[in-house]
Structure 1
Amino acid sequence: MAGIKQISGIIIILCLFSSCKIISNVEKPKAGGMTAVSANDFLNSIGVVSSITGRGETLSGTIDAINYTGIRWIRCGLEDKISIKDMISLHKETGAKIVFGLLSGGNDVSAVIDTARILAKAGALLAIEGNNEPNNWTIDYQGEVGGGKKSWLPVAYLQRDLYRAAKEDPILKDYPVWNISEGGAQTDNVGLQFLTIPDGSGTIMPAGTRYADYANCHNYITHPSWPGLHDNQTWLSASPGFDCPVDGLAGNYGVTWRKKFPGYSESEFQTLPRVTTETGIAMGGEVTEDIQARLFMNLYLSQFKRGWSYTAIYLLRTRSNEPEHEKYAFYKMDYTPKLATHYLHNFTTILADDGKLHSPGKMNYSIQDQPDTVHDLLLQKSNGHLFLVLWGERFLGGSDTITIHLGKTYQLVKIYDPTSGTAPIDIKRDVDAIVLEMTDHPVIIEVEK
């Protein structure tokens, strides 16, 4: 491994080969150094889809899985038929919060609000979510069926009413409401490509209609129009712009993918509050268990760096009614962990932090001739330690040799590789630059004076 270097309590995360050769979260290093982002905020962005105790999952199994992986939030809803007691128990045992929603075909606003209110009182609620993919699961609201290939007015009325009910509730009014997913599939222009419909938008629903506080996408990192593995797989999939090759922000909130209804401009995407409630990639063919595990770590990093406040990978554990979805999941149906589980455990353990960052620090680093397949993110723990995160996106093979200039000489550098474990795999002394062969996964470098 080429030279590496360090600063007092600084950690650097790099995506390498295992041999170790809201936010628009980070900008390029500039004179005076790069300002760090809270490590705890990054960890809080890491979520997963789970039925907790539904569809064959067990409370004890879910608790163990969340504690082991370090995942911070779970997406679930009416269709999962989970007891409120179990959701609160999960929160108490793991600290994980709940995003609770209408999900597939759900239409009971009162049930969502009542559940969310109890979760909020217990400190277990993160957000409220609208319908899951109404293009695939129609809804029946106030006697009208909508979504799919029918009119989407019932979907719009339902989301409007969910938002209004949450904001009129004294306990829930400050909790965010996340939009439906797949608003790009609207058959008629009901305006679900907006959080609040602006004047002059030409939508069926009136200007001023409020649907959500956050845009919501299912930008899986592969797509029928973009199959297989690619360099920059997770980076491009996380793009908020029209260069996104998958089902991303542009096709749901810019120009809708089905009927081409106009929404936000590309410049407005950059600051649009956004979340992903489903993403991931299935094992199969060139996507081996090991490649999937590396992609998952990179996915969480790329999403956060490119402005997604929260990201949920589908799926925590294979559901008993959908055994074919095991290829997506962290755990098999019997809770046997896959490699993605172990890699994420190592990754979140090395970065572990749960405190508030009061005064962000800086690091005056630079990456010489940075390739477009290498990305970086500077984090800081609440104890003041800094973490420079880099990840390589060479999923078609090959590597990138990079030199990281740290701005000064550091006495001690400890190198960690999440694909190997949580202990240092190497230690370097008295270095002011690091030369690395970057490939396709994170490695963590801790630097001290």
Structure 2
Amino acid sequence: MSADRFVDGIAVNTHINYTDGAYANVKNVRDDLVWLGVRHVRDASPGASAPMSSYAYLAVSDIKFDFLVRSEIAHSLAQIKAVETASRGSVDAVEGFNEINNWPVTYDGLKGDAAGLAAQRAIYAFVRGDPSLAGIPVYDLTGYNVSSVTTRFGSADYANQHVYPQNGEQPGYNANGDAWIKMGIRGVERFDLPLVITEFGYFSLPQSGWYQIGVDEESQAKGILNGLFDAAASGVSRMYLYELLDEKADPRGVDAGMHYGLFTFENRAKPAAFALHNLTSMLKANGGTALNRLEGEAWRYTLTDLPPSGRSLLLRKSDGALELVLWNEVPFWDHTSGKPLNSPSATVFVDLGSMAARVNLYDPMRGIAPLQTQRNVQQVRVDVPDHPILLDVVFPN
């Protein structure tokens, strides 16, 4: 895929209505998003606590919203319409109820899944029937029993899932068979709709044990980078990281929900934020034109000794440079000790198919400058770590 399309598929959750914590400073929210290179956010439809001017302020910076509909459907849709009317093009999507398995809903005399599914049909009909919203896609609700539903026709344009890797595991591959993103996709693939993952993340509160446990900040960064590439390689249209900021202070470290942010409550950028900033910066055009002679051809490259845990994805930047992304989903967290694991890198040999004029090696965990540059090479040896590295390949004209 194009690098621009990949970057456009990166999104993040915000909570502009939470005016009693970090999100009260909407300037920080705006500045953080611009610095990350992320233009798509997911948030609840505007409520009473945050003024409409907060959303307009973000929209001016080309921030676009997936708005969750609240239980007061009519008022919620009216607020979404108001944002779109005030700032045309600022509403990316309208999304049904959030995790009705955790937050039960009622609608039109119904309860549980029946209520959520009926409300979703009503939301879809409203959006499709309103001239100011008619072209905006509708994301499905989350938290209903997908096994009992055969179609989303007349209810959603995109299937929708939440994915939170458990036990400090990698998002796409684990030797025990856990493949969290694939499991999420499998649940809704029979609907034959494009898919969004509207929540994905790790909380940075190191823990030991089983099920939903936290990791350190470095491991959080690795898991988020891997998850973004796993999602793109699996055909996910957009993935919303959870979340931009740690919502409130938690100095005693007792509330896991206050540690999902890419930035701390004080707005310090965690390693995940630095890595994401580095990644989006790397994938921008460099201002020139590479004019690869393989521009219109299928690039045939070969990977040797890539282990089962290894992954690859090919991107093309708008300046013509080719980006071969390699990552190795070996364990990075020891759930017994609650400490990071330093699994060895995999030595992989890359045959580029023909002589490359230049190959730069980048690691978004370490900065935006190339760690290594080779010229006039066809074969490259690469040590692939437990997170993505990028080979920027330019062939002669």
Change in CA separation of 1:232 and 1:172 when aligned onto 2, cut-off 3 Å: closer
Identity of aligned residues (%): 28
Show the counterpart of 2:168.
228
Show the counterpart of 2:76.
111
Amino acid corresponding to residue 236 of structure 1 in structure 2: A
Q: CA RMSD in A?
A: 2.7
Answer yes or no: is 1:146 the counterpart of 2:111: yes
Answer yes or no: is 1:89 the counterpart of 2:50: no
1:293 to 221, 227, 240: 221
2:385 to 434, 439, 446: 439
1:30-429 correspondence runs (5 A): 37-52=1-16, 54-55=18-19, 56=21, 57=23, 58-78=25-45, 81-93=49-61, 95-103=62-70, 106-116=71-81, 118-119=83-84, 121-142=87-108, 144=109, 146-147=111-112, 152-184=113-145, 189=148, 191=149, 194-196=151-153, 210-222=154-166, 227-230=167-170, 232-233=172-173, 236-239=179-182, 244=183, 248-251=184-187, 253=188, 264=190, 271-283=192-204, 284-285=206-207, 287-320=215-248, 324-352=256-284, 362-396=298-332, 397-429=343-375
Unaligned runs of 5+ in 1: 1-36, 197-209, 255-263
Contact 2:45 2:80 in 1 (8 A): no
- Distance (whole Å) between structure 2 residues aligned to residue 66 and residue 53 of structure 1: 17
Amino acid corresponding to residue 32 of structure 2 in structure 1: A
TM-score (norm 2): 0.82
Change in CA separation of 1:422 and 1:321 when aligned onto 2, cut-off 3 Å: closer
- Distance (whole Å) between structure 2 residues aligned to residue 118 and residue 64 of structure 1: 20
Contact 1:100 1:112 in 2 (8 A): no
Contact 1:113 1:165 in 2 (8 A): no
Contact 2:172 2:181 in 1 (8 A): no
Contact 1:88 1:122 in 2 (8 A): no
- Distance (whole Å) between structure 2 residues aligned to residue 279 and residue 388 of structure 1: 24
The answer to which of 303-312 and 283-292 deviates more is 283-292
- Distance (whole Å) between structure 1 residues aligned to residue 319 and residue 357 of structure 2: 20
Amino acid corresponding to residue 161 of structure 2 in structure 1: C
* SS in structure 2 of the partner of residue 370 of structure 1: coil
- Distance (whole Å) between structure 2 residues aligned to residue 360 and residue 312 of structure 1: 32
Higher relative contact order, structure no. (Cα contacts within 8 Å, ≥ 6 residues apart): 1
The answer to which of 391-400 and 342-351 deviates more is 391-400
Equivalent pairs counted in the alignment come to 359
- Distance (whole Å) between structure 1 residues aligned to residue 83 and residue 242 of structure 2: 26
CA deviation map 1:65-92 (0-9, x unaligned):
1012122211011376543332232122
Change in CA separation of 1:333 and 1:183 when aligned onto 2, cut-off 3 Å: same
Change in CA separation of 1:167 and 1:353 when aligned onto 2, cut-off 3 Å: farther
- Distance (whole Å) between structure 2 residues aligned to residue 115 and residue 214 of structure 1: 18
Change in CA separation of 1:447 and 1:280 when aligned onto 2, cut-off 3 Å: same
